[in-house]
Structure 1
Amino acid sequence: MQRKFHHVVVGSAVALVSAVVLVSPALASSGGGGLPWESPLQQIQQSITGPVAGFIALAAVAIAGGMLIFGGELNDFARRLCYIALVGGVLLGATQIVGLFGATGATIGSIEHELRHHTMELAQFSPRKGEGAHA
Structure 2
Amino acid sequence: MGIIGALLCASLAGPALAGSGGGSLPWEGPLEQIQQSITGPVAGYIALAAVAIAGGMLIFGGELNDFARRLVYVVLVAGILLGATTIVGLFGSTGASIGGSVVVGQAAVPNTIRTGEGEGRDG
Q: Does the TM-score normalized on the shorter chain lie above 0.5?
A: yes
1:1-135 → structure 2 map (5 Å cutoff): 32-97=22-87, 103=91, 105=95, 107-110=97-100, 113-115=110-112, 118=114
| Alpha-carbon contact 2:44-2:83 (below 8 Å) kept | yes
TM-score under structure 2 length normalisation: 0.55
Mapped to 1, the partners of 2:69 and 2:96 lie a distance apart of 40
User: C-alpha displacement at 1:45, in angstroms?
Assistant: 0.5
User: C-alpha displacement at 1:44, in angstroms?
Assistant: 1.1
TM-score under structure 1 length normalisation: 0.51
Amino acid in the other structure paired with 2:56:
G
Mapped to 1, the partners of 2:47 and 2:35 lie a distance apart of 15
User: C-alpha displacement at 1:57, in angstroms?
Assistant: 0.2
For the aligned residue pairs, the C-alpha RMSD in angstroms reads: 3.1
Q: Deviations over 1:60-86 (max 9, x none)?
A: 111101111121111222112111111
Query: Which structure has the highest helix share of the two?
Result: 1
* 3-state DSSP of counterpart to 1:65: helix
User: C-alpha displacement at 1:58, in angstroms?
Assistant: 1.3
Gapped runs of 5+ residues in structure 1? 1-30, 123-135
Larger-gyration structure (1/2): 1
Mapped to 2, the partners of 1:84 and 1:33 lie a distance apart of 38
Distance 1:105 1:64, change over 3 A: same
Gapped runs of 5+ residues in structure 2? 1-20, 102-109, 117-123
